[in-house]
Structure 1
Amino acid sequence: MKQKTTEISTLDRVIDADDESERMLQVLASVLEGLGGIVSPNTELILHDMRNPSHSTIALVNGHVTGRQIGDPIIAAPVDDKGFELLLEKRPSQKGMSASISRYRSRTKDGRELLSATVLLRNRKGLPFASVCANADLTDYQLLHAALGRLIAPSSEARETTADSRPNLDEMIEEIVSEAIQRAGIPVSLMDKAEKLKVVSELTKRGVFMIKGAVERVAQALGVTRFTVYNYLEALGFPRNGKAGAAGKEAEPVKAARKTTRRRAG
Protein backbone atom coordinates (compact mmCIF):
# COMPACT_ATOMS: atom_id res chain seq x y z
CA MET A 1 0.00 0.00 0.00
CA LYS A 2 1.37 3.40 -0.92
CA GLN A 3 2.24 5.94 1.75
CA LYS A 4 0.07 8.95 2.45
CA THR A 5 1.16 12.15 0.77
CA THR A 6 -0.02 15.75 1.19
CA GLU A 7 0.95 18.64 -1.03
CA ILE A 8 -0.16 22.24 -0.47
CA SER A 9 0.78 25.15 -2.69
CA THR A 10 -1.87 27.65 -1.61
CA LEU A 11 -0.30 28.34 1.78
CA ASP A 12 2.82 29.74 0.11
CA ARG A 13 0.98 32.33 -1.93
CA VAL A 14 0.82 35.99 -1.05
CA ILE A 15 -2.82 37.06 -1.03
CA ASP A 16 -4.79 40.25 -0.99
CA ALA A 17 -6.61 40.63 2.33
CA ASP A 18 -9.64 41.91 0.42
CA ASP A 19 -9.72 38.92 -1.94
CA GLU A 20 -12.48 36.85 -0.37
CA SER A 21 -12.11 33.94 -2.80
CA GLU A 22 -8.38 33.69 -2.19
CA ARG A 23 -8.85 33.72 1.57
CA MET A 24 -11.42 30.94 1.26
CA LEU A 25 -8.97 28.88 -0.78
CA GLN A 26 -6.44 29.31 2.01
CA VAL A 27 -8.96 27.99 4.54
CA LEU A 28 -9.90 25.02 2.35
CA ALA A 29 -6.24 24.16 1.81
CA SER A 30 -5.74 24.07 5.58
CA VAL A 31 -8.78 21.79 5.91
CA LEU A 32 -7.33 19.38 3.33
CA GLU A 33 -4.01 19.41 5.13
CA GLY A 34 -5.75 18.43 8.37
CA LEU A 35 -7.84 15.71 6.74
CA GLY A 36 -4.71 14.34 5.10
CA GLY A 37 -3.64 13.02 8.48
CA ILE A 38 -6.65 10.73 8.89
CA VAL A 39 -7.84 9.61 5.45
CA SER A 40 -6.59 6.25 4.19
CA PRO A 41 -3.91 6.09 1.46
CA ASN A 42 -6.50 4.93 -1.07
CA THR A 43 -8.46 8.21 -0.79
CA GLU A 44 -7.44 11.28 -2.78
CA LEU A 45 -8.48 14.81 -1.81
CA ILE A 46 -8.05 17.70 -4.24
CA LEU A 47 -8.60 21.45 -4.05
CA HIS A 48 -9.01 23.31 -7.34
CA ASP A 49 -8.70 27.03 -7.98
CA MET A 50 -11.45 27.29 -10.60
CA ARG A 51 -10.23 30.75 -11.60
CA ASN A 52 -7.13 29.15 -13.12
CA PRO A 53 -8.33 26.01 -15.01
CA SER A 54 -4.96 25.43 -16.71
CA HIS A 55 -3.22 24.99 -13.33
CA SER A 56 -6.17 24.45 -11.01
CA THR A 57 -4.72 21.85 -8.60
CA ILE A 58 -3.42 23.82 -5.61
CA ALA A 59 -3.80 21.35 -2.72
CA LEU A 60 -3.54 17.57 -2.92
CA VAL A 61 -3.70 14.59 -0.58
CA ASN A 62 -2.67 11.13 -1.87
CA GLY A 63 -2.20 12.22 -5.47
CA HIS A 64 -0.91 8.73 -6.31
CA VAL A 65 -4.54 7.54 -6.52
CA THR A 66 -5.05 9.26 -9.89
CA GLY A 67 -1.46 10.32 -10.57
CA ARG A 68 -2.15 14.03 -10.26
CA GLN A 69 0.30 16.67 -9.10
CA ILE A 70 0.19 20.25 -7.89
CA GLY A 71 -0.31 22.56 -10.86
CA ASP A 72 -2.20 20.04 -13.00
CA PRO A 73 -5.17 21.35 -15.02
CA ILE A 74 -8.80 20.75 -14.17
CA ILE A 75 -9.12 18.39 -17.17
CA ALA A 76 -6.73 15.91 -15.49
CA ALA A 77 -9.81 14.59 -13.66
CA PRO A 78 -10.76 10.89 -13.68
CA VAL A 79 -12.80 9.45 -16.53
CA ASP A 80 -16.59 9.94 -16.11
CA ASP A 81 -16.08 12.68 -13.53
CA LYS A 82 -19.59 14.01 -12.89
CA GLY A 83 -18.23 17.06 -11.12
CA PHE A 84 -18.19 18.87 -14.44
CA GLU A 85 -21.99 18.67 -14.46
CA LEU A 86 -22.01 21.23 -11.64
CA LEU A 87 -20.22 23.71 -13.87
CA LEU A 88 -22.89 23.33 -16.53
CA GLU A 89 -25.72 24.24 -14.18
CA LYS A 90 -27.34 27.62 -14.60
CA ARG A 91 -25.82 30.46 -12.63
CA PRO A 92 -27.46 30.55 -9.19
CA SER A 93 -29.66 33.51 -8.42
CA GLN A 94 -28.58 33.84 -4.78
CA LYS A 95 -25.07 34.92 -3.80
CA GLY A 96 -22.41 32.65 -2.40
CA MET A 97 -24.09 29.42 -3.51
CA SER A 98 -22.44 26.00 -3.30
CA ALA A 99 -23.43 22.74 -4.99
CA SER A 100 -22.31 19.14 -4.61
CA ILE A 101 -22.62 15.70 -6.11
CA SER A 102 -21.56 12.66 -4.11
CA ARG A 103 -21.14 8.89 -4.26
CA TYR A 104 -20.77 8.64 -8.02
CA ARG A 105 -18.52 6.20 -9.83
CA SER A 106 -15.58 7.32 -11.94
CA ARG A 107 -12.39 5.56 -12.99
CA THR A 108 -8.70 6.13 -13.48
CA LYS A 109 -7.07 6.05 -16.89
CA ASP A 110 -5.81 2.52 -16.20
CA GLY A 111 -9.32 1.27 -15.41
CA ARG A 112 -9.45 1.28 -11.59
CA GLU A 113 -12.92 2.13 -10.24
CA LEU A 114 -13.32 5.14 -7.94
CA LEU A 115 -16.05 6.30 -5.59
CA SER A 116 -16.11 10.08 -5.95
CA ALA A 117 -17.62 13.28 -4.59
CA THR A 118 -17.34 16.92 -5.70
CA VAL A 119 -18.27 20.22 -4.03
CA LEU A 120 -18.30 23.40 -6.14
CA LEU A 121 -18.18 26.83 -4.50
CA ARG A 122 -19.30 30.07 -6.17
CA ASN A 123 -18.51 33.65 -5.20
CA ARG A 124 -20.97 36.48 -4.60
CA LYS A 125 -21.35 36.97 -8.34
CA GLY A 126 -22.28 33.34 -8.84
CA LEU A 127 -18.98 32.45 -10.52
CA PRO A 128 -17.17 29.24 -9.52
CA PHE A 129 -13.91 29.86 -7.69
CA ALA A 130 -13.16 26.61 -5.85
CA SER A 131 -13.84 22.91 -6.07
CA VAL A 132 -13.09 20.22 -3.51
CA CYS A 133 -13.03 16.62 -4.77
CA ALA A 134 -12.57 13.22 -3.17
CA ASN A 135 -11.76 9.96 -4.98
CA ALA A 136 -11.59 6.60 -3.17
CA ASP A 137 -9.85 3.76 -5.04
CA LEU A 138 -12.12 0.70 -4.70
CA THR A 139 -9.55 -1.85 -5.89
CA ASP A 140 -8.60 -3.18 -2.44
CA TYR A 141 -12.25 -3.52 -1.43
CA GLN A 142 -13.08 -5.35 -4.67
CA LEU A 143 -10.19 -7.76 -4.16
CA LEU A 144 -11.32 -8.38 -0.59
CA HIS A 145 -14.89 -9.00 -1.77
CA ALA A 146 -13.63 -11.49 -4.34
CA ALA A 147 -11.50 -13.28 -1.72
CA LEU A 148 -14.43 -13.54 0.70
CA GLY A 149 -16.58 -14.83 -2.14
CA ARG A 150 -14.13 -17.67 -2.73
CA LEU A 151 -14.24 -18.57 0.95
CA ILE A 152 -18.01 -18.72 1.30
CA ALA A 153 -18.89 -20.05 -2.18
CA PRO A 154 -18.31 -23.78 -1.43
CA SER A 155 -20.75 -23.82 1.48
CA SER A 156 -21.23 -27.25 3.06
CA GLU A 157 -24.57 -26.35 4.56
CA ALA A 158 -27.47 -28.38 3.25
CA ARG A 159 -30.07 -26.39 1.38
CA GLU A 160 -33.71 -27.33 1.37
CA THR A 161 -35.35 -26.65 -1.98
CA THR A 162 -38.90 -26.89 -3.14
CA ALA A 163 -40.36 -26.93 -6.61
CA ASP A 164 -41.19 -23.23 -6.35
CA SER A 165 -37.75 -22.23 -5.09
CA ARG A 166 -35.67 -24.04 -7.72
CA PRO A 167 -33.77 -21.57 -9.92
CA ASN A 168 -34.74 -21.29 -13.57
CA LEU A 169 -32.27 -21.69 -16.43
CA ASP A 170 -31.34 -18.01 -16.61
CA GLU A 171 -30.65 -17.87 -12.87
CA MET A 172 -28.51 -21.00 -13.04
CA ILE A 173 -26.36 -19.54 -15.82
CA GLU A 174 -25.97 -16.28 -13.93
CA GLU A 175 -24.96 -18.13 -10.75
CA ILE A 176 -22.40 -20.32 -12.53
CA VAL A 177 -20.83 -17.34 -14.30
CA SER A 178 -20.75 -15.30 -11.08
CA GLU A 179 -19.07 -18.13 -9.16
CA ALA A 180 -16.44 -18.57 -11.89
CA ILE A 181 -15.61 -14.86 -11.75
CA GLN A 182 -15.42 -14.92 -7.94
CA ARG A 183 -13.04 -17.88 -8.00
CA ALA A 184 -10.76 -15.93 -10.33
CA GLY A 185 -10.02 -13.74 -7.31
CA ILE A 186 -9.84 -10.45 -9.19
CA PRO A 187 -12.47 -7.91 -10.31
CA VAL A 188 -13.47 -8.11 -13.98
CA SER A 189 -12.31 -4.52 -14.51
CA LEU A 190 -8.75 -5.59 -13.61
CA MET A 191 -8.69 -8.90 -15.51
CA ASP A 192 -6.34 -9.32 -18.46
CA LYS A 193 -6.93 -11.62 -21.43
CA ALA A 194 -5.36 -14.67 -19.74
CA GLU A 195 -7.56 -14.32 -16.66
CA LYS A 196 -10.74 -13.94 -18.72
CA LEU A 197 -9.68 -16.93 -20.81
CA LYS A 198 -9.37 -18.93 -17.59
CA VAL A 199 -12.93 -18.00 -16.62
CA VAL A 200 -14.22 -19.08 -20.04
CA SER A 201 -12.31 -22.35 -19.68
CA GLU A 202 -14.04 -23.07 -16.37
CA LEU A 203 -17.42 -22.28 -17.89
CA THR A 204 -16.84 -24.76 -20.73
CA LYS A 205 -16.26 -27.48 -18.13
CA ARG A 206 -19.60 -26.58 -16.56
CA GLY A 207 -21.32 -26.95 -19.94
CA VAL A 208 -22.51 -23.36 -19.97
CA PHE A 209 -21.92 -22.88 -23.70
CA MET A 210 -24.24 -25.74 -24.53
CA ILE A 211 -27.11 -23.41 -23.61
CA LYS A 212 -28.43 -21.09 -26.30
CA GLY A 213 -27.58 -17.46 -25.64
CA ALA A 214 -24.84 -18.26 -23.11
CA VAL A 215 -22.11 -16.62 -25.21
CA GLU A 216 -23.86 -13.25 -25.04
CA ARG A 217 -24.40 -13.58 -21.27
CA VAL A 218 -20.76 -14.46 -20.62
CA ALA A 219 -19.57 -11.63 -22.88
CA GLN A 220 -21.64 -9.14 -20.92
CA ALA A 221 -20.35 -10.43 -17.58
CA LEU A 222 -16.70 -10.19 -18.71
CA GLY A 223 -17.11 -6.82 -20.39
CA VAL A 224 -16.14 -8.07 -23.86
CA THR A 225 -17.92 -8.70 -27.16
CA ARG A 226 -19.42 -12.07 -28.05
CA PHE A 227 -16.85 -12.37 -30.85
CA THR A 228 -14.11 -12.14 -28.21
CA VAL A 229 -15.74 -15.02 -26.33
CA TYR A 230 -15.80 -17.02 -29.60
CA ASN A 231 -12.06 -16.34 -29.97
CA TYR A 232 -11.49 -17.54 -26.40
CA LEU A 233 -13.37 -20.74 -27.17
CA GLU A 234 -11.32 -21.34 -30.30
CA ALA A 235 -8.14 -20.82 -28.28
CA LEU A 236 -9.38 -23.49 -25.87
CA GLY A 237 -9.83 -26.00 -28.68
CA PHE A 238 -13.35 -25.39 -29.91
CA PRO A 239 -12.83 -24.48 -33.59
CA ARG A 240 -15.61 -23.49 -35.95
CA ASN A 241 -15.72 -26.92 -37.57
CA GLY A 242 -16.49 -28.44 -34.19
CA LYS A 243 -13.61 -30.97 -34.41
CA ALA A 244 -11.46 -30.70 -31.34
CA GLY A 245 -10.89 -34.27 -30.24
CA ALA A 246 -12.67 -35.03 -27.01
CA ALA A 247 -14.03 -31.50 -26.95
CA GLY A 248 -15.79 -31.90 -30.27
CA LYS A 249 -19.22 -32.52 -28.75
CA GLU A 250 -19.11 -29.31 -26.75
CA ALA A 251 -18.03 -27.35 -29.82
CA GLU A 252 -21.33 -27.92 -31.61
CA PRO A 253 -23.31 -25.32 -29.58
CA VAL A 254 -20.59 -22.77 -30.30
CA LYS A 255 -20.78 -23.53 -34.02
CA ALA A 256 -24.56 -23.26 -33.93
CA ALA A 257 -24.34 -19.95 -32.08
CA ARG A 258 -22.01 -18.61 -34.77
CA LYS A 259 -24.44 -19.66 -37.52
CA THR A 260 -27.28 -17.94 -35.70
CA THR A 261 -25.22 -14.75 -35.44
CA ARG A 262 -24.40 -14.85 -39.16
CA ARG A 263 -28.07 -15.35 -40.09
CA ARG A 264 -29.08 -12.39 -37.96
CA ALA A 265 -26.36 -10.25 -39.51
CA GLY A 266 -27.61 -11.19 -43.01
Structure 2
Amino acid sequence: MIAKTFGRNCEVVVHDLTTPQNSVIFAVNNHVTGRKVGQSFDHLIREVLLSGQFNEDFVAGYETSDHNKESIKSSTSLIRDGSGKVKGALCINYRLNSLSHVQEFVEDMMTFGEETKPTAEVQRDNVVEIADEIIDSIIKGYDVEHLKRKEKIQIVKFMDEKGIFLIKGAIDKVAEKLNTSRVTIYSYLDEIKKGE
Protein backbone atom coordinates (compact mmCIF):
# COMPACT_ATOMS: atom_id res chain seq x y z
CA MET A 1 0.00 0.00 0.00
CA ILE A 2 2.74 2.48 0.94
CA ALA A 3 4.79 1.71 -2.17
CA LYS A 4 1.76 2.02 -4.43
CA THR A 5 0.78 5.29 -2.77
CA PHE A 6 4.17 6.95 -3.36
CA GLY A 7 5.24 5.19 -6.56
CA ARG A 8 8.22 3.28 -7.89
CA ASN A 9 10.82 5.46 -6.12
CA CYS A 10 9.41 4.45 -2.74
CA GLU A 11 10.92 1.24 -1.33
CA VAL A 12 9.29 -0.53 1.63
CA VAL A 13 11.21 -3.12 3.65
CA VAL A 14 10.01 -5.20 6.59
CA HIS A 15 12.52 -6.77 9.00
CA ASP A 16 11.97 -9.68 11.40
CA LEU A 17 14.46 -8.77 14.14
CA THR A 18 14.01 -12.14 15.85
CA THR A 19 16.26 -13.45 13.04
CA PRO A 20 18.82 -10.63 12.74
CA GLN A 21 21.24 -12.45 10.45
CA ASN A 22 18.60 -12.58 7.69
CA SER A 23 16.05 -10.09 8.95
CA VAL A 24 14.61 -8.84 5.64
CA ILE A 25 11.33 -10.73 5.12
CA PHE A 26 9.64 -8.35 2.65
CA ALA A 27 10.84 -5.77 0.14
CA VAL A 28 8.96 -3.93 -2.60
CA ASN A 29 10.52 -1.51 -5.12
CA ASN A 30 13.86 -2.81 -3.88
CA HIS A 31 15.64 -1.29 -6.90
CA VAL A 32 15.88 1.85 -4.71
CA THR A 33 18.52 0.41 -2.32
CA GLY A 34 18.84 -3.17 -3.53
CA ARG A 35 17.52 -4.73 -0.31
CA LYS A 36 16.63 -8.41 -0.75
CA VAL A 37 14.68 -10.93 1.28
CA GLY A 38 17.12 -12.88 3.44
CA GLN A 39 19.61 -10.03 3.95
CA SER A 40 20.39 -8.56 7.36
CA PHE A 41 19.68 -5.05 8.62
CA ASP A 42 22.27 -2.35 7.88
CA HIS A 43 21.30 1.03 9.33
CA LEU A 44 19.32 0.05 12.44
CA ILE A 45 21.98 0.66 15.08
CA ARG A 46 24.04 3.54 13.68
CA GLU A 47 21.43 5.63 11.87
CA VAL A 48 18.30 4.82 13.85
CA LEU A 49 18.88 3.73 17.46
CA LEU A 50 21.95 5.91 18.02
CA SER A 51 20.68 8.93 16.10
CA GLY A 52 19.57 12.00 17.97
CA GLN A 53 16.24 11.68 16.18
CA PHE A 54 15.18 8.30 17.63
CA ASN A 55 12.08 8.83 19.76
CA GLU A 56 8.86 6.89 20.34
CA ASP A 57 10.31 3.90 18.45
CA PHE A 58 10.85 5.64 15.11
CA VAL A 59 13.04 8.02 13.12
CA ALA A 60 11.44 9.84 10.21
CA GLY A 61 13.28 11.51 7.37
CA TYR A 62 16.94 10.67 7.92
CA GLU A 63 19.33 10.78 4.98
CA THR A 64 21.00 7.70 3.49
CA SER A 65 22.35 7.00 0.02
CA ASP A 66 22.28 4.17 -2.50
CA HIS A 67 25.23 2.46 -4.20
CA ASN A 68 25.39 5.38 -6.69
CA LYS A 69 25.60 7.89 -3.81
CA GLU A 70 22.16 9.28 -4.70
CA SER A 71 20.29 10.82 -1.80
CA ILE A 72 17.57 8.72 -0.18
CA LYS A 73 15.14 9.90 2.47
CA SER A 74 14.52 7.07 4.93
CA SER A 75 12.21 6.41 7.84
CA THR A 76 12.28 3.45 10.23
CA SER A 77 9.69 2.40 12.79
CA LEU A 78 10.14 -0.48 15.21
CA ILE A 79 7.44 -3.12 15.54
CA ARG A 80 6.68 -4.52 19.01
CA ASP A 81 4.56 -7.48 20.06
CA GLY A 82 1.75 -7.31 22.63
CA SER A 83 4.22 -7.64 25.51
CA GLY A 84 6.34 -4.73 24.26
CA LYS A 85 9.27 -6.76 22.87
CA VAL A 86 10.83 -5.45 19.64
CA LYS A 87 10.13 -8.01 16.93
CA GLY A 88 10.63 -6.11 13.70
CA ALA A 89 11.05 -2.88 11.81
CA LEU A 90 9.24 -1.16 8.95
CA CYS A 91 11.54 0.89 6.70
CA ILE A 92 10.60 3.33 3.96
CA ASN A 93 13.30 4.56 1.56
CA TYR A 94 12.47 7.24 -1.00
CA ARG A 95 14.85 8.10 -3.85
CA LEU A 96 14.86 11.88 -4.14
CA ASN A 97 16.51 12.48 -7.53
CA SER A 98 13.23 11.94 -9.39
CA LEU A 99 11.69 14.92 -7.58
CA SER A 100 14.15 17.57 -8.76
CA HIS A 101 11.76 18.92 -11.41
CA VAL A 102 9.24 20.05 -8.81
CA GLN A 103 11.04 22.71 -6.75
CA GLU A 104 8.58 23.12 -3.90
CA PHE A 105 8.03 19.40 -3.48
CA VAL A 106 11.78 18.72 -3.52
CA GLU A 107 12.48 21.30 -0.83
CA ASP A 108 9.83 19.76 1.37
CA MET A 109 10.96 16.18 0.80
CA MET A 110 14.64 16.99 1.33
CA THR A 111 14.03 18.52 4.74
CA PHE A 112 15.36 15.94 7.15
CA GLY A 113 13.83 15.30 10.55
CA GLU A 114 14.76 17.59 13.37
CA GLU A 115 16.59 16.15 16.31
CA THR A 116 14.20 15.46 19.14
CA LYS A 117 15.35 15.26 22.70
CA PRO A 118 13.59 12.73 24.89
CA THR A 119 15.16 12.64 28.33
CA ALA A 120 18.63 11.14 28.06
CA GLU A 121 17.80 8.41 30.57
CA VAL A 122 14.64 7.28 28.73
CA GLN A 123 16.48 7.33 25.40
CA ARG A 124 19.46 5.36 26.78
CA ASP A 125 17.23 2.77 28.47
CA ASN A 126 15.15 2.28 25.33
CA VAL A 127 18.22 1.80 23.09
CA VAL A 128 19.86 -0.60 25.56
CA GLU A 129 16.63 -2.62 25.84
CA ILE A 130 16.32 -2.90 22.06
CA ALA A 131 20.01 -3.83 21.68
CA ASP A 132 19.62 -6.51 24.38
CA GLU A 133 16.71 -8.02 22.46
CA ILE A 134 18.72 -8.03 19.22
CA ILE A 135 21.69 -9.66 21.00
CA ASP A 136 19.34 -12.30 22.43
CA SER A 137 17.89 -12.93 18.96
CA ILE A 138 21.34 -13.32 17.39
CA ILE A 139 22.51 -15.82 20.01
CA LYS A 140 19.26 -17.75 20.54
CA GLY A 141 19.84 -20.19 17.68
CA TYR A 142 23.15 -21.43 19.10
CA ASP A 143 23.96 -24.00 21.78
CA VAL A 144 26.36 -21.70 23.62
CA GLU A 145 27.77 -24.49 25.81
CA HIS A 146 29.11 -26.29 22.72
CA LEU A 147 30.23 -23.36 20.56
CA LYS A 148 33.79 -23.50 19.31
CA ARG A 149 36.03 -20.43 19.51
CA LYS A 150 35.78 -19.88 15.73
CA GLU A 151 31.97 -19.88 15.93
CA LYS A 152 32.01 -17.35 18.76
CA ILE A 153 34.31 -15.12 16.72
CA GLN A 154 31.86 -15.30 13.77
CA ILE A 155 28.99 -14.24 16.06
CA VAL A 156 31.06 -11.35 17.46
CA LYS A 157 32.09 -10.33 13.92
CA PHE A 158 28.45 -10.18 12.82
CA MET A 159 27.54 -8.05 15.85
CA ASP A 160 30.52 -5.76 15.24
CA GLU A 161 29.56 -5.28 11.58
CA LYS A 162 26.03 -4.34 12.63
CA GLY A 163 27.21 -1.78 15.22
CA ILE A 164 26.05 -3.65 18.33
CA PHE A 165 29.23 -2.75 20.23
CA LEU A 166 28.60 0.97 19.75
CA ILE A 167 25.96 0.67 22.45
CA LYS A 168 27.13 1.07 26.02
CA GLY A 169 27.19 -2.21 27.93
CA ALA A 170 26.91 -4.42 24.84
CA ILE A 171 30.31 -6.06 25.35
CA ASP A 172 29.35 -7.16 28.86
CA LYS A 173 25.97 -8.42 27.66
CA VAL A 174 27.52 -10.44 24.80
CA ALA A 175 30.22 -11.84 27.09
CA GLU A 176 27.54 -12.98 29.52
CA LYS A 177 25.43 -14.56 26.77
CA LEU A 178 28.44 -16.39 25.27
CA ASN A 179 29.63 -17.56 28.72
CA THR A 180 32.96 -15.78 28.38
CA SER A 181 34.68 -12.67 29.71
CA ARG A 182 34.65 -9.15 28.33
CA VAL A 183 38.44 -9.48 27.87
CA THR A 184 37.80 -12.44 25.57
CA ILE A 185 35.29 -10.41 23.54
CA TYR A 186 37.89 -7.64 23.18
CA SER A 187 40.45 -10.22 22.04
CA TYR A 188 37.96 -11.54 19.45
CA LEU A 189 37.43 -7.98 18.19
CA ASP A 190 41.21 -7.44 17.95
CA GLU A 191 41.57 -10.70 16.04
CA ILE A 192 38.74 -9.71 13.66
CA LYS A 193 40.40 -6.34 12.99
CA LYS A 194 43.79 -7.96 12.35
CA GLY A 195 42.15 -10.47 10.02
CA GLU A 196 40.58 -7.68 7.97
Shorter-chain TM-score tier: 0.3 to 0.5
The normalised TM-score by structure 2 is 0.44
Question: Rg larger in 1 or in 2?
Answer: 1
